[in-house]
Structure 1
Amino acid sequence: MKPYRVLLYYCYTPIENPEQFRDEHHRLCLDLNLLGRIIIAPEGLNGTVSGLPDDCEKYMQAVKADPRFEALEFKVEEHDDHAFKKLHVRLKEEIVNSDLPVNPLEQTGKHLEPDEFLKLKDDPDVVLVDMRSNYEHSVGKFKGAITFDMENLRELPEHVHEIEHLKDKKIITYCTGGIKCEKASAYLLSRGFENVYQLHGGIIKYGLEAGGEDFDGKCYVFDNRVAVDVNQVNPAVISTCYRCGTTTDRMINCASPVCNNHVTLCEACGWEHQGTCSDDCKQDPQLRAYDGTGYYAKISDGYTPLQGYKSLVGSLIK
């Protein structure tokens, strides 16, 4: 058993005073020595944190003790160390950026538990649709799944026409932890799709509870692990090195802060090219030091754990 835990979670629920809740929640995380990224919005809570087992257990108990988060589910993974270098608890307009005109509390696709998804995914009347960004599904996706060339969920309306001809099928959406699918499946329903399902808990829960069968490659995650193994049944590597084309599932962020592209880079090219995705990036005067992981903690101007996050962008951010 590894010494640290990583918690992935979300919950759509009205938060009447999100700024006050942000401050209270931030203090809770500080008291429990947790690191991670947490987003709080009027529509709910979304986060990934890491810490020692006892601290994570106390955190889960504290969150679940709030009636607003009784339905929240934690995906719990083991790790060798903290999965983050800092703690950020931010206030935003949405807990996942989408700008989609939907409310998951009013309408969303039918939730499928991992064992239900496992039984249904190979039905000839079923279509799997990946709701993640292009760099995420480039390193891993379900066999036969439809993917969209989109940078984020805000672009979904531009791609729905690609599956319009499948309205008579059972559509199962999936993403990393399930949060994007709450809105994506709701949006498909609003566009006339009738049989819409979603993988509850996402790829991570499916791997933890059902073994990850038929998920090829790795799952991109938003912490310093970058990408994690999911499939314990029939794993396969589907990605190639961005630089040399050899088969690899090592995902990095480009060491150039101006670029910061998410790409697959084999270990040899990583060291040879200092963690960059192009020769131009390699010449960036602000090049970050590559340590073999390809993960770089975000620098937030004006942010301290005690004072909170301040930004010139967005009136809600505190």
Structure 2
Amino acid sequence: MLRREGIEHELLNAKNHEREASIIAQAGRPGAVTIATNMAGRGVDIILGGNPPLPDEAKKVREAGGLLVFGTERHEARRIDNQLRGRAGRQGDPGASQFLVSLEDDLMRIFGSEKIKGMMDLLGLPEDQPIENKMISRALEAAQSKIEGFHFDARKHVLEYDDVMNRHREVAYKMRRRIADGSELTKDKISRMFGDEIKKIVEFHTQSESFGEWNIEEIIEDAKAIFSLSPDVRSKLEELKDGRRDKFEIQKEFAAYLNDLALKAYAAKEKEVGEENTRQAEKFILLRTLDFLWMDHLEAMEHLRSSVRLRAYGQRDPLVEYKNEGHPRGQALPLPPGRLRK
């Protein structure tokens, strides 16, 4: 439009910093027209007469009324409007600001269109006449207050949900620090990890009350994922199974036997590669495992957050539901010993 009317102008955006500085420096000269985005040139004084200022031109600009700022719409936040107004009349210089508003602007259309349109019809204001009526100005400010309140509630809502995750985050970070500084890498804890994992393997494959349905081959295959086994392990497990009648006693014997083999294999590996290399490997594996568990936890909590919204239809508070179900998940977050293989 400005080109069509033959008005020379500059376009100011925040993409080219060198060009931006040059445009701002000359934006205060007589007759200068500068189109700027909200972000461009923020916090920089536009010096009347240009930069460096020319006394004659500065005087000419002041006599003409100083810098005139036009806003093409009222923003959702009054803070941004005030920032634009603040570009004019800085440090005692003359200046003015004016905003152009359409009933089709997003702010007006969503929050104030019908009320303000009714006022304009009542006052008989034509579309091209400046709106200087205080009632309409107050209605504009009320629309801005409404949307600011809406955004405030949204931010508060996000914060309330994030408070739950922040507690989980503190637990995960504390565990990560303990692994990184080595305080979590004691032989007793590593041994318990082996024991808990082997116990889970044994219990999973010996659930049946009928000993004949126990899958010893699967127990061996799962155990091999942790440490090497000799071929005679199968016969030893069969011997333990046939030697007793109580299911839980046999499970305990299986776990103790395999755990003893695991610890011996681990001690042999540590002797082979050295204690320092073993500690480094433990640290790497545990940190990697915790990172994977944390990513799974984040995904699970995001799914939970999405699902609890629907519970509002059942007259239940989604935030309370999120806290109630998220709390036990957060308590279970520290690195489970049974996840050693990951």
Q: TM-score, normalised by structure 1?
A: 0.24
**Higher strand proportion, which one?**
1
Q: Which has the higher contact order (CA 8 A, sep 6+)?
A: 1
- Between Structure 1 and Structure 2, whose CA radius of gyration is higher? 2
